[in-house]
Amino acid sequence: MTDSEDPDLSNLVADLHAELEATAERPVEARASQWLGEAEAVAGDAVGQDVPDAVVEKRVGQVRMLLSNVEETGDETADEHVASARELVEEIEAHL
């Protein structure tokens, strides 16, 4: 498949973006907020039905790297969103 026509993949990427977006609403530590904001923006680039798999793969890899810089956010709910985002990264990469 050359483009992300797989609705499951598209939904997973949208879910990843939503998890990262949800952290923006939480009172997270400043440094974690920077990494999470960047990860959210990068994930946003991969959202959509017409995004080529190569772009999804690159962006999700970048999200993985950005999330590796976040150990704790200082907010339990945000930590849960980060954990879910990490799981989604794994699942998306398994799809690719």
Q: What is the pLDDT of residue 25?
A: 92
Predicted pLDDT of residue 2: 41
Q: Burial, 19: exposed, middle or buried (Cβ in 10 Å; 0-12, 13-18, 19+)?
A: buried
The amino acid present at 11, given as its one-letter code, is N
Please state, in angstroms and rounded to a whole number, the distance separating the CA atoms of residues 42 and 74.
22
pTM: 0.93
**What are the residue boundaries of the structural domains of the chain, listed by start?**
7-95
Amino acid at 70: V
The confidence score (pLDDT) of residue 1 equals: 39
4: tokens are: 């992300």
Low-confidence stretches of the chain (pLDDT beneath 70) = 1-5, 7
